[in-house]
Amino acid sequence: MNTGSVIVGNHGFFFRDGASYTVPGPGTAGRASKPGAADTGWIDLGILSELNVQHDREAREVYAPTPGVLRLYDVIETKRMLKITATCMEMSPLTFELVFGTLSLTSASTQYNPLEGVTKKGWLKVQQYKQDDSIINTLDVFVHLKVTGEINFGENIVSIPVEAVVLHSTLNTGTLA
């Protein structure tokens, strides 16, 4: 990766925890089992007007006498968290699920029950492209996905703020191009 200024276009895809996949072989998606990029079960999050990443950590400071005054000697991280927020600019069955708290919906769904759904966990794939359409980053992480904030169904394009909190998985990975 070369150093330089970039404008980044973001694409996001979600694969449900517990859903079956066939690529790279038969399996069930979960924290310890990730579907392949070519599997047809990935759900496109649609147009993302922005994507933000926030890395939080909690640390403990270690002070040591040097020789008599205690001075900061080390910092030890004890907790780490990565949070990804995005604004979806298209409505889909998944965004209706997130907004109304429903069970899983598909493009064939015609009826739903608000607040009957479960916590949405699964794999999030983020693909980031530079202004020249070349990919610069691909991120695959196991997440807890939810809507944050109020949704306004009015005269403007509906925007859905979503938050993905990265959960620990040994299969979480990123690739720089």
pLDDT of residue 1: 66
pLDDT of residue 108: 95
Dihedral over Cα of 35, 21, 109, 17: its sign: negative
Q: Which residues pair with 84 in a beta bridge?
A: 53, 164
Instruction: Please list the ranges in the chain whose pLDDT falls under 70.
Output: 1
pLDDT of residue 4: 84
Whole-structure pTM over 0.85, yes or no? yes
Q: Tens of pLDDT along 96-120?
A: 999 999 999 999 999 999 999 999 9
